[in-house]
Amino acid sequence: MLILFYCMSLMLAIASTDDGKKWNDQAQKELTDALNLKPNIKIAKNVILFLGDGMGVSTVSAARLYKAQKDNIAEGMSTLAFEHFPHVALSKTYNLDAQTPDSAGTGTAFLCGVKANAGTLGVNGNVQRKNCSLQKGNEVMSILHWSKAEGKSVGVVTTSRITHATPAAAYAHSAERDWENDANLNDVEGNCTDIAKQLIMDNPDIEVILGGGRRNFFTIPVGQRNDSLNLTQIWETDKSTKGKGSYVTTKSQLDAIDVKNTDYLLGLFAESHMEYDLDRELDNNSLDQPSLPEMTKTAIDILKKNDKGFFLLVEGARIDHGHHASKARKALHDTIAFDDAINIAMKELGTEETLLVVTADHSHVFSMAGYPETGNDILGLVHPTPDDEPKDNLPYTSLIYGNGPGGALVNGSDGHPGRQNLTGVDTTDPEYVFQAAVHMSSETHSAEDVGIFAIGPMAHLFHGVHDQNYIAHVMAYASCVGANKKHCDRPKDDPIGSGVSHTLAHSLILVCILNHINKYL
């Protein structure tokens, strides 16, 4: 028995030995990969912008752990597809009038290329929020419009209402993000058009539109509109004269679409926002809604038929909503679904001709706190040591918010208000509201920078800390749309559009260096 115990102890000791070789080998491989990395200087036929709404760096870190534990992968492994992208930068997210941004001003930045005020869509900084009179003459076009002007196909996919801030920034111009239907404009002075009407009437040639928000397209009592318009019917009538169009409202109908014979697709799968991905799984998709990866695949299958390529915006919108409700599990689960959509795009298209950009509009006051040990449930309690025990001696979760609905105090055993005692509380429950420092009805955004992850043609142009509007300019440059197209007729091996070949450029640089050295010899 003693011999068996000794052998087991020896085996455990050997198994737990860490002499650093693993980490040195891993780092050397990464170093070799970095040294061999060559920028893809081709023109991008396709561009897909994957926007994780509210997906700050802390959310990426927590989602990596959440997925590792969910799939029984060793902690520390990069489990998200976009973590393997070779080019990573940071984006400054502020709005012109706000240190901490909203999704309308940020959407205008990364889609239209200009910074804007909070709450405004597709307009420049001259437009103050809710001021309809300032809209005219201050509209700005997005990369969706620029791509369409070059003959490319375009699409918008989201799990929010299709008229919500981020998707609306791709096609609408509005001094107020909440003007989603005409009823929202009842008390507004001026001649402004609601966002849903702009989508259908002013942007009739968007090939793929998939998301929620049916209520903004129909008149009361079916929807919320005050006018007599049935916008989906107007869309269907228009498409009957232009090609083969389909309007769908369920996953079953989407699955039945013949993409080879579909030129236009409008899918509105919910009255408001679509379900959280976790809820959709847990209730066995009783509402018959497609997932974000499923919508993304259908969109790509339709758009890629265009020989000139396409631009597609894919938004994982409910990451943001999960954080606002302080239901961290739902936010992280939607992050995984968002990542699955990215995997779909890479599988369908590759990265030789397609630029994939993954970023967020803003972050949240969400963090991984304390000193949890390896293997601790990312949704669970921290087990503190005597040196880091909370002053109230109550357990706490490693996921925590700076503010939000979880900040409510309860009366303790001593009669004084304090934190809820989480002993015996199931913090992995999808509906569990994580604790917060400040009690608010809804958790807020944060002002920190967010990541930009890129792969494909011109992805190397993301290289440092950028203002958020830079993203639109890189995507446009890469795909030769918009104003910056001087490089578009260059030879294939010309990296900068100067008429100088890649090899000759290197030779000229070498000559300059040698001449400079000779001056001081």
> Any idea where the domains of the chain sit in the sequence?
46-365+444-479
Structure tokens at 22: 């693993």
Asked whether the predicted pLDDT for residue 387 surpasses 90, the reply is no
Does the annotation flag 164 for ligand binding?
Answer: yes
Quote the strand ranges of 17-92, DSSP E.
46-52, 87-92
Give the range among 88-97, 276-285, 440-449, 510-519 with minimum mean pLDDT: 510-519
Note the helical H segments in 257-306.
277-282, 292-303
166 annotated as a binding-site residue: yes
Give the up-direction half-sphere exposure of residue 164: CA atoms within 13 A in the CB hemisphere: 27
In angstroms, the CA 318 to CA 206 distance is 23
pLDDT at 490: 66
Instruction: Output the CA–CA distances (angstroms, integers) from residue 266 to 162, 215, 253, in the order listed.
Output: 10, 14, 11
Contact, 43 vs 478, CB < 8 A? yes
List, in sequence order, every beta strand (DSSP E) within 375-448. Answer: 399-404, 410-411, 417-418, 436-439, 445-446
The pLDDT of residue 491 is: 58
Chain segment 24-51, per-residue pLDDT in tens: 999 999 999 999 999 999 999 999 999 9
Q: Is 320 annotated as a binding residue?
A: yes
List strand residue ranges (DSSP E) for 282-346, in order.
310-316
Give the residue numbers marked as catalytic.
Answer: 103
Query: Mean pLDDT, to the nearest integer, of 352-367?
Result: 98
Asked if pLDDT for residue 411 goes beyond 50, the answer is: yes
Check the annotation: does 445 bind a ligand.
yes
Confirm if 352 and 193 have CB atoms less than 8 A apart.
no
88 within 8 A of 462, measured Cβ to Cβ: yes
Q: Which fold has domain 46-365+444-479?
A: Alkaline Phosphatase, subunit A (3.40.720)
Q: How confident is the model at residue 413, as a pLDDT?
A: 73
Tens of pLDDT along 306-349? 999 999 999 999 999 999 999 999 999 999 999 999 999 999 99
Beta strands in 304-462 (DSSP E): 310-316, 354-359, 363-364, 366-368, 399-404, 410-411, 417-418, 436-439, 445-446, 450-455
**pLDDT at residue 100 greater than cutoff 70:** yes
